[in-house]
Amino acid sequence: MFTVIIMASVLSWLVSFSMSSNMKASVNNYSKTLTFIRVDHYVQGPGINNYAVIPSNVTAAIESLQHVKRLHKLYMFYIARVVRNTNISGVPFENLTLFLMDSAIALGLSETIPPFIIDIQSGRLPINGSEIAITGPGNYYKLDDEIEVAFNGTITKVKISGFLTMSLLSPVQMVVHKDFLSSMPGGDCVIDEALRGECTVLFVEVDDIYNVDEVLKNLRELIGWKEGEGWEEWEIRDVYKITYDEYLLKRTLELSESSAFVTILLTSGALSFSIILIMITSYLNINIRKWEVGLLRSFGLSDNEIITAYILHLLAVTVLGVVAAFSVAHIVVTFIERLLIDALGFGNIISAATIELTPLTMLLTFTLTIVIGAASTFITVSMTLRKPIEDQLREF
Amino acid sequence: MIELCDVHKSYGAIQVLSDINIQVCEGECLAVIGKSGTGKTTLLKIIGTLAMPNRGTVKVCGVDVTKARHKELVSIRRSIGFSFQQSLLLPYMTVIENVMLTSNMGKKEVIEMLDFIGLGERINHKPGKLSEGEKKRADLARALAKKPRILITDEPFSNLDSERIEKVSKLINDFLEKGRTVIVSSTSEVKSLNITHTFRLNKNQ
């Protein structure tokens, strides 16, 4: 029976984990969507002139949203233009979030620039194009992977850290955080002297996922894309207008909202299930051992002491459940992530709608389980204590 | 020490005990003798405050348990060591853990006692692996290890051979010699114990 209780506890914990993480993901998606809308303001306002300054959480939101949109055949095209100021070349790399390269102008699947990776081992931003390692298209990696790349004409092993092509559709993004720049010696000068750069994001609904190239072509026409040998340009203002087309924006928000609500709905179901499971577990735990309560009373334990003992027991079982569920969840999530990356080619999908075993998530679910478990234990034991001892002992 | 006055107990329409009057002083040993189904266990439970009479008064350590508050009952139960007829041992604990659960003795003393009654090699076994006689002795050891003022033991010699009966009797007699009170039930005369009073229960009493 003890095993059953442990298993039930583990199960309820798993549900709790998925519940809390889903809740978190949905709320984040929603809020990130709002943050994302402000991106352009931020760039246009007091941000870094030369570099599009996008807080890392916003960039993450874009990635996250992209996953959601993919499910709805809504593709995100990240259109950006940044004129890179050479003043920033070679600055130390640590604490950087993402840095948008001028050559990293990429539009969806048709990006002509293959995914590329910057060697961060040198601990600074690349000084010139030769420091950009190019990998073949169609390769997907995750953070901390070590890969061999052509680097400065030689094959070099580099560790991916912080940025790479996140999915089939997103371009390589690198954005220097404004705070970081400000904190750098001479960083303020870099900000002041740099040229204005702009970036924005455009969502386009694509009915036929195999027709993205055609959509891209149309988009380029819309934004006045011009290119020649070694150069390319387009009207930033046009991009701005198209990006904030009301229909597209509205559509995007609607999708985000509906996704969030569906997730919250599912989460509520999981939450209810989890609560019921924990309550049933607590109830069974005590009810099948009524005689034990009677025995403890016969020893001379007071009602409060008995309730405390059972709640402490629940706590111990819950801690075991946490450890077990955390381990199982970690293995399962790692497996799924691996499967998605290796078999299906989705990179970093975990940031979109997956289990996030953060300390806060753990603390919340742990607290929730304890509170529900303690409450149901308290009620069940209190009800049992109302009965005469001899009735309880008869249950043996 | 223990005083029962005009105690009646029935379960629904079935009358188990009626008009019971008993008085036991400190340091005395009362044997409750009766055939199966005569209400010995019920009487012991009433004395042990584990069951309440339908009528009459029960005084234990000067407190009328029928009117006692929760705190008083808890206090009385702490001064009683109850050895059950069915040997209520917690199944997920070993013998030593069960005995130590409410023990006021040191572990060494408990092990010595268990060894004396033939459970020395069984201390780390769980109740599921014990025979009925062994469970019975472990249950009694738990009650004694509590160092109670009153020991109530329900048919302590059932499932025991003569050698074990002798050893268990010695433990109970030693307990009595310390000036403690013992209530013991049995289906037949208990000759191995230093009985002070005998109370016989008949079917319709």
Chain A residues near residue B102 by CB distance under 8 angstroms:
299-300
Distance from C-alpha of A48 to C-alpha of A98, rounded to nearest angstrom:
13
Report CB contact under 8 Å: A291, B88: yes
A297 interface with B at CB cutoff 8 Å: yes
Work out the number of other CB atoms within 10 angstroms of the CB of residue A143: 12
- The per-residue pLDDT for A182 is 56
What does the DSSP 8-state code read for residue A393?
H
pLDDT of res. A339: 65
The answer to whether B23 contacts chain A (CB < 8 Å) is: no
CA distance A67 to A58: 14
Say if residues A21 and A177 touch (Cβ distance below 8 Å): no
Asked if the Cβ–Cβ distance from B78 to A388 is below 8 Å, we say no
Distance from the Cα of A294 to chain B's closest Cα (Å) equals 9
> What tokens were used for A223?
């934004």
Indicate the pTM of the whole model: 0.56
**8-state DSSP, A159:** E
Give phi and psi for B171, each to the nearest 5: -60, -45
Report whether B29 contacts B194 (CB < 8 A).
yes
Q: What is the DSSP string of A231-259?
A: EEE--HHHHHHHHT-HHHHHHHHHHHHHH
Contacts of B128 in chain A (CB under 8 A): none
Cβ of A300 and B75 within 8 Å?
Answer: yes
Alpha helices in chain A (DSSP H): 2-37, 39-44, 56-71, 178-183, 187-193, 212-222, 236-243, 246-287, 290-299, 303-342, 350-353, 359-386, 389-393
| CA of A378 vs chain B CAs: smallest distance (Å) | 18
Residue B152 at interface with chain A, using a CB cutoff of 8 Å: no
Q: Are strands A198-205 and A154-159 parallel, antiparallel or unpaired?
A: unpaired
Q: How far apart are CA B52 and CA B76, in angstroms?
A: 14
Q: Is A309 on the interface with B (CB under 8 A)?
A: no
Q: Which of B54, B42, B58 is nearest to B4 (CA)?
A: B58
In chain A, what residues touch B104 (CB-CB under 8 Å)? none
Contact A105, A171 (CB under 8 A): yes
The domain ranges of chain B are 1-79+148-158+176-205
* Nearby residues of A288 by Cβ (< 8 Å), 6 or more positions away: A1
Looking at CATH, the fold of the domain delimited by B1-79+148-158+176-205 is given as Rossmann fold (3.40.50)
Q: Do B50 and A302 touch (CB under 8 A)?
A: no
User: Distance from A369 to chain B by nearest Cα, in Å?
Assistant: 25
- CA A143/CA A158 separation, integer angstroms: 11
- The tokens describing A43, both together, are 């760039």
Residues of chain B neighbouring A302 (CB-CB closer than 8 A): 70-71, 74
Selecting from B51, B74, B86 the residue whose C-beta is nearest the C-beta of A302 gives: B74
Instruction: Report d(CA A248, CA A256) in Å as an integer.
Output: 12
Q: Are strands A116-118 and A132-134 parallel, antiparallel or unpaired?
A: antiparallel
Pick B88's closest partner by Cβ from A303, A390, A396: A396
pLDDT of residue A183: 54
Low-confidence ranges of chain B (pLDDT < 70): 203-205
User: Per residue in B149-167, pLDDT tens?
Assistant: 999 999 988 878 888 888 8
Per-residue pLDDT of chain A (396 residues; tens, 9 = 90+): 455 555 555 655 555 444 444 333 333 332 222 222 222 222 322 322 223 333 333 343 344 344 333 333 333 333 333 222 333 334 333 323 233 332 222 222 223 233 333 333 344 444 443 444 434 333 444 445 555 544 344 555 555 443 322 222 233 333 334 444 455 555 565 445 443 333 334 444 444 545 555 655 665 565 556 666 655 554 433 222 222 223 333 333 444 444 445 555 655 666 677 777 777 877 877 777 788 888 899 898 999 999 998 888 888 877 777 777 767 766 776 676 566 555 554 433 333 333 445 566 667 767 777 788 888 888 888 888 888 888 877 766
Give yes or no for a contact between B2 and B183, defined as CB atoms under 8 angstroms apart: yes
Q: How far is B129 from chain A (nearest CA, A)?
A: 17
- Number of H helices and E strands in chain B, helices first, is 6, 9
Q: Per the CB < 8 Å rule, is B74 touching A300?
A: yes
